[in-house]
Chain A
Amino acid sequence: MTTPSAPCLALLITLVGIVLLGQGAYIHAKAWVAQLLLERAFARTITTGQPTKPWSWADTWPVARIEVKRLHVSSIALAGSSGQALAFGPGHVELTPEAGERGVAVYSAHRDTHFRFLQDVVIGDEIDVTRSDGKRFRYRVDSASVVRFDASGIDPLRDGYELVLSTCWPFGALTPGPERYVVHAMLMGPGS
């Protein structure tokens, strides 16, 4: 005789599986949907010149578009690098200058969503950053490195016009860690 507990257990495992799968998918869905809304808001920002919130209750707004043409990727970056902002898009790290200004502009995003493409970026790649005022700057990647989060060696106020994109390292790992993958690029001059 089969006890009723066996099918119940199987059903329970299935349900937990579904919930977990759903939660994981939800993170990706959120990242993806948010980008659509952000794209729209950013387009409006450029035309109106006013910071536009992507949805009425958002606590952040789009500040730049980051593109790598060779990889056909584009992502709208948000102000601030709090966890909330990073769920929707790359964050422009506080207290670093804007792209195109003197210093090191730093953008961070999750390794498994918006900055997953960083693993395919190679030295010599061109990164375009369009600011909310419509100006576009083209950077060329000159190095990539793995550092600890608290020993990045990045002085945001250093001389020179530089860009850093950072994400967690290693790609594909399942647990958070202290290491960050840092892609460094130098300004080439205003893009076309």
Chain B
Amino acid sequence: MITGDEIETDSHSILSRIVTILLFLLAQLVATLLIGSVALAVRFEPVWSAEAQPVAFIKPSDARAGSLLLKNDDGYADATRLGIDVDITVSGPTIRARVTQLFRNPTQQWVEATYVYPLPDGGAVDTLKMVVGDRVIVGDIKERQQARVIYEEAKQNGQKAALTEQERPNIFTNSVANIGPGETVLVQIEYQEPVHQSGNEFSLRVPLVVAPRYNPAPVVQTADLRTDGSGWGVTRSDPVPDRDRISPQVADPAENAPVNPTSITVRLQAGFPLGDVKSHYHEVQIESPNETTRVIRLANGPVAADRDFELTWKAAAEQAPSVGLFREHVGSADYLLAFVTPPSVAQAEQKQFAREVIFVIDNSGSMGGTSIVQAKASLVYALGRLRPADRFNVIRFDDTMDVLFPSSVPADARHLDTALSFVNGLQARGGTEMVPAMRAALTDNADADAEHIRQVVFLTDGAIGNEQQLFDTIAAMRGRSRVFMVGIGSAPNTFLMTRAAELGRGAFTHIGSVDQVEERMRGLFAKLESPEVTGLTATFSDAAADITPAALPDLYRDEPLVLAAKLDKLAGSIEVKGRIGDRPWVVTLPLANAAQGKGISKLWARRKVSDAEVARTMRQMSPEEADKAILALALEHRLVSRLTSLVAVDKTPSRPAGEPMKPSELPLNLPAGWDFEKVFGERGHLPAEPTERRADAGGAKTQLALLKRPAVVPAPSTLTLPKTATDAEAKMIAGSILLALGLILLAVNRRQRLAR
């Protein structure tokens, strides 16, 4: 719009106007500067850069050990150190292990140390001792909350205290409060475990490292509506509510020397003349004092705790003992432990049954390195073992999932070729969304095919934190399918494997190195192809018995029946009945001949606790009932469980009032053969969020796949330099350009109007 006024304006007044505008702008600039200086008082937001401080290391458990998150903390150069000694005595059917953890504090501060460590999932932890100087303080069993309170009080009072808590049946945490400058505190825990038997081979396994777990992100809430029809319920929002407690820091092997040196001694008293004794993943020296005893030590001194220790032994005789019966008298009760291996009966030729086998392979980032090689080799071997009459399918998953064929296909050459090239092309990457894969594997849409036996072979390292979700899935969907777990890698999650196999009425096989693939897979296929032992029952002729496992499982070839019982009197006999394939089988064992054993009551109680947990998963027991039963058992038998902890407190305070204490969480090694970058992403950076592809076949629930936050540890002795750039220059340049542009436009505009 042009007014007459403006038309009449002469060039002189334009100039003066531009000058006025410029002056105005200048005044504004000065005002901004002044206001800025004054605003010094008010503004404290970081204005120095758009990008956040580069993250040196992030720990999921910052809530618990916040001070370690300080960006320039002294790393591990002089943080608390740990040494581990494992001393194991095998007496016949039971293993007694003593794990001594030595916490040394080389710093000038008082420290609280926290160490997350694994134990065998069937282990019954019953003793905690703390050694301070020359005093030994023995821990008491308490309810978990109460133990925590006792520990926290002692911590506040400056008393030395140790606390052992169970995070998972195979993950425990030891906390030690008030370790003085330069001091060393020993913490010792002891556990009891039955010897594992498979065919002619006996074995024990000592897990030494908790592998980093993938914890699905809590994106979608699931609602638990009460079944009483009231319409009210609770929402569960996080599949891994205790993610902080099972995600300790992991030292990047490329930047840190291995931590947590461990020495291992095994005194093996098998109770029968020993043949071959072998350690699978560690070099050992074996002494033979007599024909039934061996002493096994690590050959080259302490090793880094980065893989499981596995020892197997065989009897000198060709045939291993197929029956074992052991007893212990505790209090007013007798406890019995029985091992019975059913005879292997060859399947009659004409009765060869057809099978439908669903192979599931985990190709998530945690499988990177040697694990994926083992898994692929195992699967290739398995595909080669299929017979033309069999049907099969292949599922692969990370945080996404692919099902190779829309439904199971005959194992003919064409389909096998497709499957082999699919398997060979797999790469390890991404998160571990195991539940949708299990759900897809258990989805059984071929009722017409009921004459096929349905078997799911699941190859994974089990490195997830939401075990319970997987168990719930199996319990709800197993139908006629049997789940066979194949544990891959140097430190698989054995708790997940055994419990999943138990719920899925299958078996668990572990493959720890590429050399073992063929041998172990052959064993697994013997199980898959042989008739199982079904309908097992155990009855006592005279004694009233509380037997565990409550429902005896079906057995596969070479597997022994292991049962524990609490008896009111040791009299009469036990009769075990069942069917091998379609033939009846029965064996009777007189109790009077049972040999004296040690710690059998603990094993019974530990097994009862597992039963209660399984019953809870299967919804045969309400959570309250199960918890009550677990608590009673654990307190009576002094066992650490989900609901009970061991706590030891030194009566004399050692930390002077007013001295601060620093929490120190001990880092773990990455399990051997793992690829750090595959698990945690590129060093020093957060992993990119995976694309939001859906892994859910059923479509019931979305889980945005978000990789677990990395726990990258900086190299011990190098300093991270702070960020030292501002965007002042950029802003000023951009500002000047815009200002100039604006002024030119204004001037041009003005001139255009004048020209008119």
Contacts and interface: CB of A to CB of B under 8 A. Distances in A.
Is chain B found bound to chain A in the same assembly?
Answer: yes
B44 A84 contact: yes
Nearest to A10: B745
A82 to B, nearest CB: 8
A93 B36 contact: no
User: Which of B36, B721, B730 has the largest number of chain A CB atoms within 10 A?
Assistant: B721
A176 to B, nearest CB: 4
Contacts of B749: 2, 6-7, 10
Interface in B44-73: 44, 46-51, 53-54, 56, 70-73
B718 interface: yes
Interface stretch (B195-203, B539-547, B580-588, B734-742): B734-742
Contacts of B732: 20-21, 24-25
B728 interface: yes
User: Which of B740, B741, B743, B745 has the largest number of chain A CB atoms within 10 A?
Assistant: B745
A81 interface: yes
B39 A26 contact: yes
B731 A177 contact: no
Nearest to A55: B41
Given A10-B742, A34-B40, A94 B72 contact: yes
Contacts of B714: 150
B132 interface: no
A19 B726 contact: no
A182 to B, nearest CB: 7
A171 B755 CA distance: 47
B739 A110 contact: no
Contacts of B743: 10, 14
Contacts of A91: 722
A106 B72 CA distance: 12
Given A26-B32, A174-B730, A2 B753 contact: yes
Given A21-B732, A29-B37, A153 B53 contact: no
A83 B684 contact: no
Interface residues of B, number: 62
B32 A25 contact: yes
A87 B725 contact: no
Nearest to A151: B718
A166 interface: yes
Contacts of B15: none
A17 B730 contact: no
B19 to A, nearest CB: 15
Contacts of A16: 735, 738, 742
B36 A106 contact: no
Contacts of A152: 718-721
Contacts of B32: 18, 21-22, 25-26
Contact of A27 (B48, B71, B684): B48
Contact of B29 (A9, A21, A178): A21
B348 interface: no
A25 B33 contact: yes
A149 interface: yes
Contacts of B718: 150-155
A98 to B, nearest CB: 15
B650 to A, nearest CB: 31
Nearest to B714: A150
Nearest to A6: B749
Given A21-B29, A29-B33, A173 B719 contact: no
Contacts of A192: none
Interface stretch (A62-70, A111-119, A121-129): A111-119
A27 B719 contact: no
A168 B29 contact: no
Contact of B745 (A9, A34, A153): A9
B742 A15 contact: yes
A81 to B, nearest CB: 4
Interface of B: 1-2, 25, 28-29, 32-33, 36-37, 39-41, 44, 46-51, 53-54, 56, 70-74, 77, 684, 714, 717-743, 745-746, 749, 752-753
5 contacts: A20-B732, A21-B731, A84-B44, A150-B56, A173-B725
Given A13-B741, A113-B728, A149-B54, 12 more contacts: A14-B739, A14-B746, A20-B731, A20-B732, A22-B28, A24-B733, A33-B40, A57-B41, A87-B47, A93-B719, A108-B721, A112-B728
